[in-house]
Amino acid sequence: MTQTLSDQLTPELAERTRVLLRGFGAEIPAPGDLTVRTPITGGQLLTIRADTEEQAHAAITRAATAFDAWRTVPAPGRAAVVRRLAELLTAHKTELGELVTLEAGKIGAEAVGEVQEMIDICEFAIGLSRQLYGRTMPSERPGHRLMETWHPLGVVGVISAFNFPVAVWAWNTALALVCGDTVVWKPSETTPLTALACHTLLRRAAVDVGVDPEVHQLIQGDSRIGAQLVDDERVALVSATGSVRMGRIVAPRVAQRFGRCLLELGGNNAAIVTPSADLELAARAIVFAAAGTAGQRCTTLRRLIVHADVAGPLTALIERAYRQLRVGNPLDDGVLVGPLIDQAAHDNMRIALERALADEGELVCGGERVEVFGDNGHYVRPALVRMPAQTAVVREETFAPILYVLTYHELEHAIALHNAVPQGLSSSIFTTDQREAERFLAADGSDCGIANVNIGTSGAEIGGAFGGEKQTGGGRESGSDSWKAYMRRATNTVNYSAELPLAQGIKFG
């Protein structure tokens, strides 16, 4: 019977996808070799044609040509297109969120939240367009002025992952555009339709405000098409979001041609819970961070490092919440955990759990498949696993909802365990003791790009710089001064005197 439900539902979802695309003003793509599936049933939504190498090359050429004029538009003028994009995103918020659910499987609240994040970064970028400040420094020479100016960089290649199919693009594109760059976007091959929707809205925004729509290009396909951005010397910055495996290939290739890279790679995020923590608050934050988006956020909480005195009660609170989590169709109200993206994700989860149990881990709850549409779609209950030690599988990022629980006695040991993984994205401490909190945030505390107190590891705001250290890649996107990655800096010394003094007091001739 569930098989029948899924058979009925997939064509409905495919039709709904077409309706949504038309609503954004997008043309329904011609059928092609790239199959787009919905993780809700695993069924086919559409097929589209991947771009050829020649088409990708031509898109980069168009972006490079558009850059020549775009870089001379004053930054506040460039913000007009971002302002219009924000208006269009606001008008289409619910529909774009629905498309994210259909294509990536996120529950409605998280999908619409992702669109809100796009609107937020647009607003940030509009304000930023009047704040691309350079410094003026005192010159050591009389009659001289020393200053820095910031200039557009060129073509920015954006490579994005399936799990934030629209927000990560917006983080990059809103900033790149006000900084005077043009953009070529290669979205995940798993989520090309949300990309088509965003591309259409941006081009529409450009036309509405009289900007050349060629400032934004979309190229579709797998890693071979992504590689074109990586290897093309005209692409000044490659901003790549995805796995560490991808970053290992991309970074040296971009470096080889002296291009710039902004890497946002995998995380293996942990929270320390100390004896003074508010356990109820901690448990709520932990459940959202570990089980939200079915464990498919780069900032998902994967390791819990709990003081032995509170490990029992905290684990019990989390277990109780886990057993109540509704797993199911992300389009249904009340569902909190949607599907995994595909079979491979499910296999990886299963294998990781087997390895954890072989390492003498103890499954507290979860991990089993949930039959929402029979064999179709990959639905799982989030898993909670007590581990005697931080073994190899715990140090890896498994992109699925598995929360490993480790215990500690001394805070120093907890911090050491926390940092003893190759990734360095997000981290938290739950405590009401200010000394413990400050210890965690200190130079020899958490080694991550994001370190929080009394909130979970996921759900960052756009106002702060986002990114992580070590194998997470070192990039920073979104707020604060992340914009500097999208511009080039020039140091200018102006001599307004009639003399020619040399720096360092050098006399020449």
56 or 82: CB nearest ligand NAD:
56
CA distance 126 to 175: 9
- Least distance (Å) from ligand NAD to the CB of residue 218? 12
Q: In 274-351, which ranges are E strands?
A: 301-307
* Number of residues that make up the chain: 509
222 or 309: CB nearest ligand NAD:
222
**CA of 132: how far to CAs of 39, 74, 128, 386, 455, in Å?**
41, 11, 6, 49, 31
Whether 397 is catalytic: no
Q: Please name the residue that has the structure tokens 């739950």.
A: 430
225 or 311: CB nearest ligand NAD:
225
Residue 9: left if φ>0, alpha if ψ -120 to 50, beta else—which one? alpha
182 or 188: CB nearest ligand NAD:
188
Which residues contact ligand NAD (rule: CB under 6 A)?
Answer: 159-164, 168, 186, 188-189, 222-223, 226-227, 230, 241-243, 246, 249-250, 264-267, 298, 397, 399, 425, 472
| Structure tokens given for 169 | 């693009």
80 or 251: CB nearest ligand NAD:
251
Q: Which residue of the set 110, 117, 214, 264 is catalytic?
A: 264
152 or 266: CB nearest ligand NAD:
266
- Least distance (Å) from ligand NAD to the CB of residue 498? 53
Q: Outline where 211-270 has alpha helix (H).
A: 223-231, 244-256
Residue 4, CB half-sphere, CA atoms under 13 Å: how many?
1
- Least distance (Å) from ligand NAD to the CB of residue 396? 10
DSSP secondary-structure letter at 378? B
Which of 356, 289, 380, 365 is closest to 320 using CA atoms? 365
CA distance 498 to 405: 71
CA distance 212 to 215: 6
- Least distance (Å) from ligand NAD to the CB of residue 504? 43
CA distance 99 to 85: 17
124 or 408: CB nearest ligand NAD:
124
DSSP-derived pairing of the beta strands 362-365 and 383-386:
antiparallel
Q: Is the dihedral of CA 421, 337, 479, 453 positive or negative?
A: negative
**CA of 76: how far to CAs of 5, 70, 137, 382, in Å?**
52, 12, 25, 46
Please give the positions annotated as active site: 264
